[in-house]
DNA sequence: CTGTTAGCGCGTTCAT
DNA sequence: ATGAACGCGCTAACAG
C-alpha cells in the first residue's frame, strides 16, 4: 500500500542506503558485482521506484517546466503546446500547462505557484500585466522565455512572429488581386499585446506603401463575442471593404460565419485572408488563403532557448528576440 | 540569487522555524499579534515563498495530477484537456499533460515517471497496452480515472461516450433521409480500442435494426495517412456508398478533402455525418451534421471522480463506468 | 504562545 | 568497496 523507500531496498539487499543510491546513479565502479546483483534483485522484488520529489529537494532540479499560455482557445497556442510538450519530453522534462485566459491575475498566480513548485523554467505567452514578476525572474536569472509577445526592455529571450511581415504579405496578396478597400480585424484584449499592435502597424505601413489610404473605419478590434456586430458595421459602411484580413483563427471563423449567413461570396463579394493556419483551410469552399506561423519552429526555438538557459551556469547569457518568418499559403479566397 | 528558506524568515523575525510554519498554515490562534506582524513583515521583506517540493515531501501530496492522452491530435482530446485543466486549477491542482501518441511504451514511461513524481492522481486515455500497471495502481488504491476508453474487468472509474448510441443516432439520421448504402470509417490503432469497436458495433446493430445489410466492404479502418486510399477503394466499388459516417474529426477532415478533390457534392453525391464536433461544422458548405460528445460534461465528470478518489480515505470506493450521451447536431450534410 | 526535536526520502561527503 | 551521518526545506508532535 505505502511506497517503499531506498531504505527498505537497502535492508532487503543487506547493504546501506548510500550504496543503493550509488547504484541508482549508476556509479557502480566501486561496487562488487555481487552487491550490484543483490541490489538489482531487491529493487525488482520490491518493485521500487525512486521518489523524485525527495531527489528534487536535494538536487534543486525537478525536471519540470511550466508553460503559461495567454489563451488556450487559439489554435496557435495548442499547436505550440503540442510541440513544446513533445520536445521537452524527449529531454526528460515534464510540462505543466496553465491557461491564463488573458487575465494577468491568473498569470501571476500561476507564475508564483510554479516557482514555488520549483519548476526548472517557464515558457510564457505573457499577458504583459506582471512586469514586476518578469523582472524579478530575470534578475534572479531564472530560466524564462517569452512566446508570441514581447515585453520591451526586459531582456528576456523571446520568440515571436515577424508580425509586420505577416500583415504585409497579406496586403500585398490583396493588392495583387486589385483589392483596394482592405480591412483588418483583430481580437482585442485590454492590454496592447504586441502581435495585435504590430499586425495593425504592418497593415498600415503596407497600405501606405501601396499608395492606399489608411481608413480608421477599416481597422477593427473586438472581443470574439462582438465580432459579428463589428462585421455588421463594416458592411453597413457606404464603402464596405472588399477584402478582410483576419488577425487570427478566431476572427477568421467569425468572418466565414458572417459571410455564410449573409450570403457573401468569397472572394466575389469579399476576399479573405487569415493569419494562422486552420484545419479546414485547404478544403473549404473556397480554400482559404492564409499567412501561417511556423509554429513548430517557434516551439522548437523556445524549448531550445529554455534548455540553454537551464543548462548554462553563466549569467552572461545574451538574450535576444527571435522573429520567425511567416509564410503565405496561397489558396483561393483572394 | 538563491532561494530563501523558512529558516531565514524565522531568523529575521526572531522566532523559530516552527512558528513561521504555523503562520504559513494559518494556525495563528496561538500566536501573539506581535509575532504575527513580525513574521508577516519578514516574509514581505525577504520576498519569501514556501518551497512546495519540501512541503510535498512531508505531506505526501503534490497537488499535481497527470493527464495522459492517447493522441493529442484529436480535437476531442484537446477539448477535454482544456476543461480538465480549468476544473482542476480551480481546486488548486496543477496538471501535467503527456501525449502517449498511441504508443503503450510511451504511456508506460509517463505513468512511471508521474508516479515517481508523486502526482496525486492520474487521468488516462488508456492505450490498453499496460494492463499490469493499471492493475498495480488499482491495487495500491492510487487515484485513477480512465477517459474515453474502457479496460474491462479492472474496476477503474471510467467516463466515456455511449458509442453505440452515437453510431445509432447517425445511422438513424441517414436512414431518415433514405440512404441505405451507408459506410463507416474509423482510424485504426493496433489495439482494439473500445470507442472504435463500439462505434462499429453500434453501426452494425443499427443497420440490422433498420433492415439494412451489413456489408464488410463498407466498414473501413485505416491510419490517417491511408484514409485517402481507403476512400478511393470505397468509391471504386460497384455500389459506392451514398453516406459516410466519419468515426472522428480526423476521418471527417479526410472525407471532406476527398469530396472536394473529387468534386463530390455533399449530400448530393455522398452524405456525411461526423462524430465529434469541429470548429467549422456550422459554417461549412454545407454545414456538417455531427454527433457531438459532451466533452465538457465528460471532463467535469472525470475530474470530479478523480477528486473524489483523492479526497476519500475509504478504500471501499465503488467504481463504475459512466456513459455519457452524445447529441445529434442536425445540419445539412445529410 | 513559542521553541525543540524528529523525521519525510534521498544524495553526499568522509571515514573505514 | 561500503556504511554512518548529515542536510535539503518543511511539518508536526511535544515540551515548556
* 3-state percent helix, strand, coil for chain B, nearest multiple of 5: 50, 15, 35
Query: What is the CATH number for A197?
Result: 3.40.50.2300
Question: Do B264 and B205 belong together in one domain?
Answer: yes
B164, pLDDT greater than 90 = yes
Question: Do B125 and B170 belong together in one domain?
Answer: no
Question: Do A197 and A226 belong together in one domain?
Answer: yes
Question: Do A167 and A277 belong together in one domain?
Answer: yes
CA atoms within 13 A on the CB side of B156: 32
- As a whole-number percent, the residues of chain A with pLDDT over 90 amount to 76
Question: Do B279 and B169 belong together in one domain?
Answer: yes
Instruction: Give pLDDT, residue A317.
Output: 62
Give the CA A144 to C1' D6 distance in Å. 34
Instruction: Give pLDDT, residue B31.
Output: 75
Note whether residue B55 is domain-resident. Answer: no
Question: Do A151 and A173 belong together in one domain?
Answer: no
B284/chain A closest Cα distance in angstroms:
7
* Banded model confidence at residue A15, pLDDT cuts 50, 70, 90: confident
- As a whole-number percent, the residues of chain B with pLDDT over 70 amount to 96
A315, pLDDT greater than 60 = no
Mean pLDDT in residue range A283-291: 97
| pTM score of the predicted model | 0.93
Chain-chain contact of A94 with B98 (C-beta, under 8 angstroms): yes
Nearest to B51 by CA among B21, B22, B23: B21
Instruction: Give pLDDT, residue B2.
Output: 67
pLDDT digit string (tens) for B277-319? 999 999 999 999 999 999 999 999 999 999 999 998 665 567 7
Note whether residue A242 is domain-resident. Answer: yes
Contact list in B for residue A89 (CB cut-off 8 A) is 98-99
B81, pLDDT greater than 90 = yes
Note whether residue B31 is domain-resident. Answer: yes
Question: Do A208 and A271 belong together in one domain?
Answer: yes
Which of A117, A224, A228 should one mutate to test binding to chain B, selecting the residue with the greatest count of B CBs within 10 A?
Answer: A117
Nearest to B303 by CA among B83, B149, B1, B131: B83
Contact of A64 with chain B, judged by CB distance below 8 Å, is answered with: yes
Distance CA B253, CA B251 (A): 5
Mean pLDDT in residue range B37-42: 87
Note whether residue A334 is domain-resident. Answer: no
Instruction: Give pLDDT, residue B316.
Output: 59
Distance CA A233, CA A220 (A): 10
Question: Do A254 and A171 belong together in one domain?
Answer: yes
Q: Mark residues 42-81 of chain B whose C-beta is closer than 7 A to nucleic acid strand D.
A: 50-51, 54-55, 57-59
Which of A4, A85, A94 should one mutate to test binding to chain B, selecting the residue with the greatest count of B CBs within 10 A?
Answer: A94
Question: Do B286 and B180 belong together in one domain?
Answer: yes
Question: Do A83 and A71 belong together in one domain?
Answer: yes
Q: A26: which residues sit within 8 A by CB, 6+ positions away? A: none
Question: Do B42 and B117 belong together in one domain?
Answer: no
Note whether residue A40 is domain-resident. Answer: yes
B37, pLDDT greater than 90 = no
A30, pLDDT greater than 80 = no
Mean pLDDT in residue range A274-279: 96
Question: Do A149 and A44 belong together in one domain?
Answer: no
Instruction: Give pLDDT, residue A193.
Output: 81
pLDDT digit string (tens) for A97-121? 999 999 999 999 999 999 999 999 9
A302, pLDDT greater than 60 = yes
Chain-chain contact of B285 with A285 (C-beta, under 8 angstroms): yes
Name the residue range of residue A42's domain: 6-50
Instruction: Give pLDDT, residue A69.
Output: 95
Main-chain phi, psi angles of B67, to 5 degrees:
-125, 125
Instruction: Give pLDDT, residue A161.
Output: 97
- Contact (CB, 8 A) for B71 and B195: no
Note whether residue B57 is domain-resident. Answer: no
Cβ neighbourhood burial of A207 (10 Å; 0-12, 13-18, 19+): buried
Query: What is the CATH number for B44?
Result: 1.10.260.40
- Contact (CB, 8 A) for A326 and A291: yes
Give the nucleotide at minimum CA-to-C1' distance from B33.
Answer: C1
List C-alpha distances in Å: B77 to A35, B99, B104. Answer: 47, 10, 17
- As a whole-number percent, the residues of chain A with pLDDT over 70 amount to 97
Note whether residue B108 is domain-resident. Answer: yes
Number of domains in chain B: 3
A304's grid cell = 531550445
Mean pLDDT in residue range B108-137: 95
- Contact (CB, 8 A) for A255 and A244: yes
Note whether residue B257 is domain-resident. Answer: yes
Pick the residue with more confidence: A235 or A16? Answer: A235
- As a whole-number percent, the residues of chain B with pLDDT over 90 amount to 75
A 10 A CB-CB count for B57 gives 18
Amino acid at each position: 500500500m505505502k511506497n517503499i523507500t531506498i531504505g527498505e531496498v537497502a535492508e532487503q539487499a543487506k547493504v546501506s542506503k548510500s550504496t543503493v543510491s550509488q547504484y541508482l546513479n549508476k556509479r557502480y565502479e566501486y561496487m562488487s558485482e555481487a552487491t550490484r546483483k543483490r541490489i538489482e534483485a531487491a529493487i525488482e522484488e520490491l518493485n521500487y521506484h525512486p521518489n523524485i520529489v525527495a531527489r528534487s529537494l536535494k538536487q534543486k532540479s525537478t525536471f519540470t517546466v511550466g508553460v503559461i499560455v495567454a489563451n488556450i482557445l487559439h489554435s496557435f497556442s495548442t499547436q505550440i503546446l503540442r510541440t513544446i510538450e513533445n520536445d521537452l519530453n524527449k529531454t526528460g522534462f515534464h510540462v505543466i500547462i496553465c491557461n491564463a485566459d488573458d487575465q494577468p491575475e491568473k498569470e501571476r498566480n500561476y507564475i508564483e505557484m510554479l516557482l514555488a513548485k520549483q519548476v526548472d523554467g517557464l515558457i510564457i505567452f505573457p499577458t504583459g500585466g506582471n512586469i514586476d514578476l518578469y523582472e524579478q525572474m530575470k534578475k534572479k536569472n531564472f530560466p524564462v522565455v517569452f512566446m508570441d509577445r514581447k515585453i520591451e526592455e526586459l531582456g528576456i529571450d523571446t520568440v515571436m512572429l515577424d508580425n509586420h511581415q505577416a500583415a504585409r504579405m497579406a496586403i500585398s496578396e490583396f493588392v495583387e488581386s486589385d483589392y483596394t478597400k482592405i480591412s483588418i480585424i483583430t481580437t482585442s484584449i485590454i492590454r496592447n499585446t504586441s502581435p495585435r499592435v504590430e499586425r495593425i502597424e504592418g497593415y498600415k505601413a503596407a497600405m501606405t506603401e501601396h499608395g492606399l489610404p489608411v481608413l480608421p473605419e477599416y481597422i477593427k478590434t473586438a472581443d470574439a463575442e462582438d465580432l459579428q456586430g463589428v462585421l455588421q458595421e463594416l458592411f453597413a459602411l457606404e464603402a464596405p471593404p472588399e477584402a478582410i484580413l483576419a488577425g487570427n483563427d478566431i476572427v477568421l471563423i467569425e468572418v466565414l460565419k458572417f459571410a455564410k449567413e449573409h450570403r457573401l461570396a468569397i472572394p466575389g463579394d469579399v476576399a479573405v485572408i487569415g493569419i494562422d493556419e486552420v484545419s479546414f483551410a485547404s478544403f473549404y469552399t473556397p480554400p482559404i488563403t492564409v499567412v501561417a506561423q511556423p509554429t513548430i519552429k517557434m516551439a522548437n526555438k523556445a524549448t531550445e532557448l529554455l534548455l540553454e538557459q537551464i543548462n548554462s551556469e553563466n549569467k552572461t547569457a545574451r538574450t535576444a528576440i527571435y522573429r520567425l518568418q511567416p509564410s503565405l499559403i496561397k489558396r483561393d479566397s483572394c
